[in-house]
Amino acid sequence: MSQGIEQHNPGHSTRAQAHPNIALIKYWGKSDTLMNLPSAPSLSITLDTLVTETSITNASGNSDEVWLDGEKTIDLKIAGWLIDLRQRFDLPPLEIRSTNNFPTASGLASSASGFAALITAINAHCELGLDNNQCSIWARRASASAARSMQGGWATLSGPHWHVESLEINWPVRVVVAITDATRKAVSSSVGMAQSKDTSPYYPAWVETTTQDFAAATDLVAAQDFAALAELAEHSCLKMHGLMMSTQPGLLYWKPATLAVIHAIRELRAEGVPVFFTVDAGPQVKAICLPEAAKAVEDKLASISGVQQTLNVGLGPGAHLVTNATP
């Protein structure tokens, strides 16, 4: 069952990078918490510029060491995931060092890029022999959205296999991220989702209609129909936040500036600017726009009171190794 790798690469490090992805058709809720299967499919874009870089070396001691953004950490999610991975593979104790060039756990999908980079680096360092689909399944077991960061550009995560798939389209939209509060969120996605499933009267309708939204959105992306995708993606986002707010206790990830940015984006679109918004489990707003509109969108969002920073990013690649990895 297991594959021995203890002898591999002592003293050498293996580095991988992955980028966050932003869902335009959101998932929120799981049908199987053990395997971390979403209850509905999702569609996303993987970004460039924002990046998680993870390096793996064999640990000098008998246990794993995890360093996140330069600090030695005990991360229960990573620890639990490594226990699962070791049920399948013999891994030596690992030293894991991961850094983000953007705020962690604040609605910028750091767990997506984090676990995609982690499985990519471990797969290579420990010679697990996993292909991209299998890596995305392992990433998904930690954080379902992480499966999507294994793929660049436009990607989907849907059943029955629940590994990432590419939409195989070259449609270079841009994303202006308006950061309104970079502190860590109070309720994690996993906890929030479980609460929504257990308590929101809207949950069954959310699952049913998201499956329909997903099918419609894949057609709109294939047709590069920006205007129709804008309406559907905003609907998916607001529907998810409506579900969150109807959870007990209510989940409210927005700040006042989040709403101000949403209104500004709607005003821009009403004036004919090709832009729409999406917001995840945090207060940041992502404005998706056609490339020619990105500068005007960024200028507008940067001028809003409460917007601390804007980032103007494009679409990026899937998780990959950094080949000059050996010190």
> Binding to ligand PMV by residue 46, rule CB under 6 A?
no
**Which span (1-9, 26-34, 52-60, 318-326) binds ligand PMV, by CB under 6 A?**
26-34
Output the smallest distance, CB 303 to ligand PMV, in A.
Answer: 27
Query: Residue 249: what residue type?
Result: P
Give the footprint of ligand PMV on residues 74-113 (CB under 6 A). Answer: 111-112
Closest CA to 141 of 230, 252, 32: 32
Give the footprint of ligand PMV on residues 251-290 (CB under 6 A). Answer: 280-281
Q: Which is nearer to ligand PMV, 132 or 190 (CB)?
A: 190
Q: Report d(CA 215, CA 42) in Å as an integer.
A: 10
> Binding to ligand PMV by residue 26, rule CB under 6 A?
yes
User: Residue 153 region, left (φ>0) first, then alpha (ψ -120 to 50), else beta?
Assistant: left
Q: Which is nearer to ligand PMV, 19 or 125 (CB)?
A: 19
Instruction: Kindly tell me which residue out of 9, 14, 39, 42 binds ligand PMV, with binding defined by CB under 6 A.
Output: 42
Output the smallest distance, CB 112 to ligand PMV, in A.
Answer: 6
Instruction: Kindly tell me which residue out of 144, 268, 285, 294 binds ligand PMV, with binding defined by CB under 6 A.
Output: 144
Output the smallest distance, CB 58 to ligand PMV, in A.
Answer: 29
Q: Which is nearer to ligand PMV, 28 or 276 (CB)?
A: 28
Q: Which is nearer to ligand PMV, 9 or 200 (CB)?
A: 200
The token duo for 61 is 């001691």
The token duo for 319 is 């998780």
> Binding to ligand PMV by residue 189, rule CB under 6 A?
yes
Output the smallest distance, CB 175 to ligand PMV, in A.
Answer: 14
Output the smallest distance, CB 38 to ligand PMV, in A.
Answer: 8
Output the smallest distance, CB 142 to ligand PMV, in A.
Answer: 8
Instruction: Kindly tell me which residue out of 106, 145, 180, 247 binds ligand PMV, with binding defined by CB under 6 A.
Output: 145
> Binding to ligand PMV by residue 27, rule CB under 6 A?
yes
In the complex, the residues that contact ligand PMV under the rule CB under 6 A are 23, 26-28, 42, 111-112, 143-145, 189-190, 280-281
